[in-house]
Amino acid sequence: MSFFKELKRRNVFKVGVAYLVACWLLLQIIDLVLENINAPDWVMQVFMLGLAVGFPIAIIVAWAFEMTPDGVKLQKDVDRNESISRHTGHQLNRGIIVILSLAIVLLLTDRFRDELFGAKEPDATKTEQSNDAAHETLPVDDRMSIAVLPFRDMSAARDQAYFGEGIAEELLNALVKVEGLEVASRTSAFSLADENLDIPAIAARLGVNHILEGSVRTAGRQVRVTAQLIDVSRDVHLWSETYDGSLDDIFKIQDEITGKIAEAMRMQLGGDSAVSSAETLTSNAEAYQLYLRGRHLWRQRNAESLWEAIRLFNAAVELDPGFHRAWSNMAVAYLNLPDYDRSYTAEESFEQGLMAAEKALSISPRSSEALIIKASYNETHCNISDAARLYETAIANNPEDPTAHHWYAILQSNAGRPNMALENVQKAKNLDPLISAVLGVEAMVYKVLGDYTRAEEAQRAAASLGLFRGSLYPLGQIYLLDGETEKGKALFEKGRPGEDPQQVATRQLFLQALDDPEKQDLLDQQIGKADGSYSYETIDNISYLALLGSDYVFAYQSDVACVILDASFWYETFREQRKTPEFFEMMERAGMVEYWREFGWPDDCASLDQDLAECDSQ
C-alpha cells in the first residue's frame, strides 16, 4: 500500500482538516472575547502559538493511533480486518460539516454584531422592510439630513480614537457636497458623541433623520472598518457593512462607504444625486496617521496638545510635502496657540501660521482653511480690504465652512456693518449650532445693533456651551449698554476665569470710573499706551474705554502703526467719539476707510464726521 493511501486510510488528512477548521473557529471566538475584555495583543498570540504547536501533534496522533470499539489503540495493535477507520472517517466528515456550519454562523454574527449588540435591534417587520428601505421615497416636504458620528475605537489598546474621528470627518467632507442633503457639522456631531445619548436622542439634538455610525479596529497595519446607516425616523437600518484591509487601503474603504451611502439614499435624494469620493489627501499612510493624530490633539485645545499637534503636522509634511491639509491645519494650530500659551506671542503665531498657510495655498489654491488664516493675518496687519476679499474667496470655495462665515462676521462687526455681520454669523450658526464662539460673536453683533434682549440670549447660549468656561461675565457689558447698571457692575465685580493681577486691577479701576468719572484718569494711567500687540488685555482696555465713552481711546493707540479694531467702537456709548476727526483718522490708520470705500460704508454712517465720511456714495 502506498504512503498516500495509508494516510487516507488512517484519516490523517481528515484529522488535519478538522483540526484546522476547529482552530480557526476557536480563534474567532477567542478574538471576540479578548476584544470585549480589552486583553493585550500578546494573549491572542499565545493562543495562536499553542494551537500551531498542536497541529503536528494531532497529525502524529492520527497516524500512530486508531479509534476502535474498545477505545484508542496503537495502529500496530489493530487487526486490519477489525479496523473501523472507514466509520471513523464518516464521523470526522460529519464533525467537519458541523464545525463549518458554526463558523458560518460566527461570520454572520461578526458581520452584523453592531446591529445585534451595539444598537437597538429592529423588530421582524422592520427587518423585512429594511431590504427595500433604500428605494422608498420620503414625502416631498421631508428634508434629507444626516449626521456622521466619530467611529468608535474597538482596538484592544483603545488608542485609535483619532483614527475613528478622521475617517468620520473625511466621510462628512464627501457627504457635504451632495446636493439636497443637509449634513450636521463635525463640531456638533462630535460634541454629542461623548454624551450618554442613544441614536434617536442624538438625531433629535442635531435635527437630522439619518445617522452614519461605525467602528474601527487596527492590529499592526491591518484595519477593520464597520459602518452602518440608520434611518432614525423609521428606526430602520438602511445598510451595514464591514471592510477589512491595510492602512494603505483606507481611502479605498472610505470611497466604498460613501458609494454605499449613495446607493442607500439615491431614491430619497433624487435619481441623479450622487456622493463624491472622499478626497485623497495623501498617498502616504504614515503621514495620514500623523495628520489624524494631530487633528485629534488640536481639538483638545490646550498648550501641550497644540504644540504636539504642530509637531505631528510637521512630521506629516516631512513624509509628504504635498499634503496640503497638514499644512493648513498646522497654520490653524499656530493661530490658536497664543490663546492657550501666553509665552507665545500673537506676532510669532501669525508669522508661523502665515508661512504654513502660504505653503498650503501653493499646493491647493482653493483651501478655505488656508485662505481664512491668510485673511486673519491681513486683518491684524491693517490690510482690511485684502482680508475681506480672502474671506469672500474662502466662502465662495467652501460655503459650508462655518469658520469662514464666523471670522468674516467679526471683521464686518469691527467695520460697523452689523447687518452684514449678522447674516454671516447666522449662516455659521446654521452650519454648526454648537460652536460657542459663534454664539459669542452673535451676541456681540446684537450689542452693536442695540438688540440687548437677543444679545443676552446668545451670550447665555454661548456660556452653556462652555465659552469662557461657562462664565456669564460678558453679560456685564450687555446690562451696562441696556441701562441696567447695577446688574452689569455685579458681573464685572465677579470677573472672569483666568485673569492675571494686571487685568483684575484694570477691571476694578473701570468700575470706579463708572461710578465717578473723575477717576477716569486713574484708569488711563493704569492702561497706559497700547504697544500694538493683539491680546485679550488690549481688547479689554478698548472695550472699557468705549463703554465709558472716553476720548482716551485715541491717545491709547496713538503710537501704534496698525490700530487694533474692536466692535465696541460701534456701541451707542461711543457715538460722540465716532463723530470726531480723531476717530476717522484712527480708522484710516487701521485700513478701514479704504475698506469702506470698496465694500460699503458703516450702517450707522451718520454717526461719523460728515465732512470726512462719504455716506452719500452708498
Give the number of other Cβ atoms within 10 Å of residue 403's Cβ.
21
Residue-level pLDDT at 561: 85
Q: What's the rounded Cα separation, in Å, for the pair 399 and 431?
A: 10
In 3-state terms, what secondary structure has residue 198? coil
Parallel, antiparallel or unpaired: strands 210-219 and 71-74? unpaired
Give the tens place of pLDDT for each residue, 37-91: 555 556 777 888 888 888 888 778 777 666 666 556 566 655 555 555 566 666 7
Give the tens place of pLDDT for each residue, 340-351: 787 778 788 888
Q: Which residues of 323-349 are buried (b: 16+ CB within 10 A; e: fewer)?
A: bbbbbbbbbbbbbbbbeeeeebebeeb
In the predicted structure, residue 555 carries a pLDDT above the cut 90: yes
Alpha helix (H) ranges present in 341-401? 346-363, 368-380, 384-397
> CA–CA distance from 393 to each of 185, 371, 444 (Å)?
21, 8, 24
Give the tens place of pLDDT for each residue, 469-482: 788 989 999 999 99
Would you put residue 44 in left (φ > 0), alpha (ψ -120 to 50) or beta? Answer: alpha
Q: What are phi and psi of 240, to 5 degrees?
A: -150, 140
Single out the residue of 84, 60, 59 nearest to residue 71, CA to CA: 84
**Range in 241-250, 282-291, 506-515 with the lowest mean pLDDT:** 241-250
Are 417 and 607 contacting, i.e. CB atoms less than 8 angstroms apart?
Answer: no
Single out the residue of 230, 197, 196 nearest to residue 213, CA to CA: 230
Query: 490 pLDDT band (50/70/90 cuts)?
Result: very high
pTM: 0.68
Q: What string of H, E and C letters represents the secondary structure of 231-248? A: ECCCCEEEEEEEEEEEHH
Parallel, antiparallel or unpaired: strands 144-148 and 181-183? parallel
Give the tens place of pLDDT for each residue, 327-374: 999 998 998 888 778 777 878 888 899 999 999 999 999 999 899 999
Q: Which amino acid is at 552?
A: Y
Q: What's the rounded Cα separation, in Å, for the pair 216 and 159?
A: 11
More confident residue, 138 or 8: 8
Residue-level pLDDT at 365: 93
Residue-level pLDDT at 407: 94
Residue-level pLDDT at 590: 94
Parallel, antiparallel or unpaired: strands 144-148 and 65-68? unpaired
Give the tens place of pLDDT for each residue, 127-156: 333 333 333 333 333 577 888 898 888 877
In the predicted structure, residue 518 carries a pLDDT above the cut 90: no
Angle at which helices 384-397 and 592-599 pack, to 10 degrees?
50
In the numeric block, the cell 486673519 is attached to 376
**Range in 60-64, 294-298, 493-497, 517-521 with the lowest mean pLDDT:** 60-64
* Sequence-ordered list of residues with C-beta below 8 angstroms from that of 88, at least 6 positions apart, any chain: 11, 66, 67
- Average pLDDT on 387-402 reads 94
DSSP string of 125-192, one letter each residue: HHHHHHHHHTTPPPPTTSPEEEEEPPPEE-STT---HHHHHHHHHHHHHHHTTSTTEEE--HHHHHHH
**Range in 190-194, 388-392, 576-580 with the lowest mean pLDDT:** 190-194
DSSP string of 464-481, one letter each residue: HTTGGGG--TTHHHHHHH
> CA–CA distance from 144 to each of 95, 175, 211, 359 (Å)?
51, 12, 11, 37
β-bridge partners, 152: 215
Residue-level pLDDT at 120: 38
Give the tens place of pLDDT for each residue, 166-182: 778 878 877 777 777 78
Give the number of other Cβ atoms within 10 Å of residue 29's Cβ.
12
Residue-level pLDDT at 414: 97
Single out the residue of 415, 413, 416, 409 nearest to residue 394, CA to CA: 409
The rounded radius of gyration (Å) of the Cα atoms in the chain is 33
The H helix count followed by the E strand count for the chain is 29, 8
Report which DSSP code applies to 114: I
For the chain, what's the residue count? 618
Give the tens place of pLDDT for each residue, 103-134: 777 666 655 544 444 433 333 333 333 333 33
Reported as half-sphere exposure (CB side, CA atoms, 13 A), residue 290 has a value of: 23
Residue-level pLDDT at 422: 97
Three cell numbers, residue 400: 459650508
Q: What's the rounded Cα separation, in Å, for the pair 197 and 199?
A: 7
In the predicted structure, residue 459 carries a pLDDT above the cut 90: yes
What value does the mean pLDDT of the chain take? 81
Question: For the chain, percent helix, then strand, then coil, each to nearest 5?
Answer: 65, 10, 25
Residue 484 CA, chain-centre distance (Å), reads 39
Q: What's the rounded Cα separation, in Å, for the pair 416 and 600?
A: 10
Q: Is 612 exposed, middle or buried (0-12, 13-18, 19+ CB in 10 A)?
A: middle
Are 135 and 56 contacting, i.e. CB atoms less than 8 angstroms apart?
Answer: no
